[in-house]
Amino acid sequence: MAAVTAVQRFLRRWDRGGHAARSRMLATFVRENAGATGAELEVRFAHMASLLLARISAWMRLHYTCQKCLGPQLRAAAVFLSAPSNHCYLRDFLEVGGIFTLLDVIRGQQSSEENKAEALRLLQVVSGAGRTFKELVCESSGLPAIGECLLDSAAEETRGAAAVLLDSLVRGNPKYRKAVYMELIALLSRSPPVAQQLLLPTLSAVQRSLSSAHPSILEAVFNLLKSLSPEVQHEALELIRALKEYEVMPALLEGLVALLKPAEERIPRSGVLEGISTGPPSATVSDGEFPAFVQQAAAARAIRMLSQESQEVSEELLRHRVVHHLLAAMGTRRRAEVQQQASLALEQFVRANPVVEEHVREAMGSALFDLFTENAEVLHLKMDEIQVDKLLSNNVNVSEGTYFVRDTSARSEPFKTHRFETRRWPSFTRKIFSCFQLSRSLQTDS
């Protein structure tokens, strides 16, 4: 009976108090009850704890624009919603519009970063309560609000809380999984690198759980390859790896090959030759050109990764004239990283394919090819102007012909043969055939 009287006195003091008095009461409540279970809260408040939660929720709904009061309100609500066995509290909070209040907080321009992060954590608690609650957040226009909060927030804590919430909403939520997936794709193109790094692991995981890939993901991937962040570049490569098994893969390969020599950033021949003797390769790169060169190098890195992992992908890349584009990229003297990554990617094709090897030898010339096979990674440091110009003007086409692919999995078999329609033979093959014909004719004459 004494406990009931004490709680009633507490609630009367709340009803008569102003903003300052209520904030002090909530601070005391949080300090004394943080970490308490639902059962403990019921005992301490004589089975009237839900009455206090109702007062906190109503006050927060009416006055969430008051930042001085909002912090204590959110922290007090977290005591109830985070308590084990919190189902009755969660139900009461949602019945008075708790989700809409929290979404208004994270959308509010006047909300502090600390309060936005606290509201996002409460939404995580709601989402973690089960599939029904995840669907409620999504149906309340939660996805656009969370996305805008992630884009607009300057605090790392807030962005991290938003990314964790999106990850929570996509798991165990088949009804809205595709909607979260599309929201993640849309966010990538507008997010700063820090936010992209947070979103990409979730997007890769979601993609692997879906039976198809939306075509719009390709543009997002290509834009990510412009990023100067090594972490974003790494996650972008992981996303490309995740797309290998989907119907967008042919378009992805075609796009990666096209990025090796982007038309809008193609460097005039004279500009390349003029820049060779005037300092380091990157000295003449303007701010507008720099992202395109970063993208070009990343595309070469992705091509190398994919060709190492799949012979079928390598053959598809050859059909897109990847060798021609890699040779041209190796002549991009204004960005050393482009040359280096293109050279390493080309080395992968040369080592695996004798036909490619002969085409590349003919395009480079014997002297440059010997340097290439000796150390492809530093080849760009040893090329002269004539060799650079020769690479830029190459017309190699290994998209047709017979591909003899070395099998690195078994030493007893030197190579495997994959035969396709043959209409164009490498020059070394034509020379050997001509010599053979000449020898036969001489033998006949004698």
More confident residue, 89 or 431: 89
Structure tokens at 346: 């080309």
Does residue 4 register a pLDDT over 50? yes
Instruction: Dump pLDDT digits (tens) for 203-256.
Output: 999 999 999 999 999 999 999 999 999 999 999 999 999 998 899 999 999 999
Structure tokens at 80: 């109830």
By C-alpha distance, which of 111, 127, 130 is closest to 71? Answer: 111
Which residues partner with 417 through β-bridges?
A: 404
Query: For residue 162, is it within any domain?
Result: no
Instruction: Dump pLDDT digits (tens) for 32-77.
Output: 999 999 999 999 999 999 999 999 999 999 888 877 789 999 999 9
What lies within 8 Å, CB to CB, of 120 at 6+ separation is 102, 106, 146, 149, 158, 161, 162, 164, 165
Query: For residue 326, is it within any domain?
Result: yes
- Residue 428 confidence class, pLDDT cut points 50, 70, 90: very low
Does residue 109 register a pLDDT over 90? no
Q: What's the rounded mean pLDDT across residues 366-394?
A: 93
Query: How many angstroms separate the CA atoms of 89 and 49, rounded?
Result: 9
Query: For residue 60, is it within any domain?
Result: no
- Could you tell me the CA-to-CA distances from 330 to 168, 173, 347 in Å, in that order? 44, 47, 12
Running DSSP on this structure, what letter comes out for residue 112? -
Give residue 171's Cα distance to chain centre. Answer: 18
- Residue 104 confidence class, pLDDT cut points 50, 70, 90: very high
Instruction: Dump pLDDT digits (tens) for 402-411.
Output: 444 444 443 3
User: What is the reported pLDDT for 1?
Assistant: 73
Query: For residue 377, is it within any domain?
Result: yes
Query: How many angstroms separate the CA atoms of 227 and 236, rounded?
Result: 9
Query: How many angstroms separate the CA atoms of 270 and 255, rounded?
Result: 27
Query: How many angstroms separate the CA atoms of 131 and 173, rounded?
Result: 6
Running DSSP on this structure, what letter comes out for residue 139? H
Query: Are 146 and 134 a contacting pair, CB within 8 Å?
Result: no
> Number of folded domains in the chain?
1
Does residue 438 register a pLDDT over 60? no
- Residue 429 confidence class, pLDDT cut points 50, 70, 90: very low
User: What is the reported pLDDT for 52?
Assistant: 95
Q: Which amino acid is at 266?
A: R
- Residue 14 confidence class, pLDDT cut points 50, 70, 90: very high
**Dihedral sign computed on CA atoms, order 343, 344, 349, 355:** positive
CB atoms within 10 A of CB 12: 10
- Could you tell me the CA-to-CA distances from 344 to 130, 264, 291, 321, 373 in Å, in that order? 48, 24, 20, 16, 10
Q: What's the rounded mean pLDDT across residues 10-24?
A: 93
Structure tokens at 319: 């059909």
Does residue 418 register a pLDDT over 70? no
Query: For residue 330, is it within any domain?
Result: yes
Query: How many angstroms separate the CA atoms of 101 and 64, rounded?
Result: 8
Structure tokens at 241: 């790896």
Average pLDDT, the chain: 85
More confident residue, 185 or 86: 185
Query: For residue 97, is it within any domain?
Result: no
Query: Are 187 and 195 a contacting pair, CB within 8 Å?
Result: yes
E strands, 44-174, are none
Q: What's the rounded mean pLDDT across residues 352-376?
A: 94
By C-alpha distance, which of 307, 333, 285 is closest to 403? Answer: 307
User: What is the reported pLDDT for 412?
Assistant: 34
User: What is the reported pLDDT for 303?
Assistant: 97
Structure tokens at 411: 């030493």
pLDDT above 70: percentage of residues in the chain: 83
What lies within 8 Å, CB to CB, of 445 at 6+ separation is none
Instruction: Dump pLDDT digits (tens) for 274-333.
Output: 333 333 444 455 556 788 999 999 999 999 999 999 999 999 999 999 999 999 999 987
Query: For residue 411, is it within any domain?
Result: no
Parent domain of 305: 218-267+284-401
Largest Cα–Cα distance in the chain? 127
Query: For residue 296, is it within any domain?
Result: yes
Does residue 18 register a pLDDT over 80? yes
By C-alpha distance, which of 312, 304, 183 is closest to 240? Answer: 304
Does residue 371 register a pLDDT over 70? yes
Lowest mean pLDDT among 46-60, 94-108, 331-345, 395-409: 395-409
Q: What is the CA radius of gyration of the chain?
A: 32
Query: How many angstroms separate the CA atoms of 208 and 245, rounded?
Result: 9
Provide the H-helix boundaries in 96-130.
Answer: 98-107, 113-127
Question: Which CATH number belongs to the domain containing residue 308 in this structure?
Answer: 1.25.10
- Could you tell me the CA-to-CA distances from 403 to 312, 324, 353, 359, 412 in Å, in that order? 12, 16, 7, 12, 19
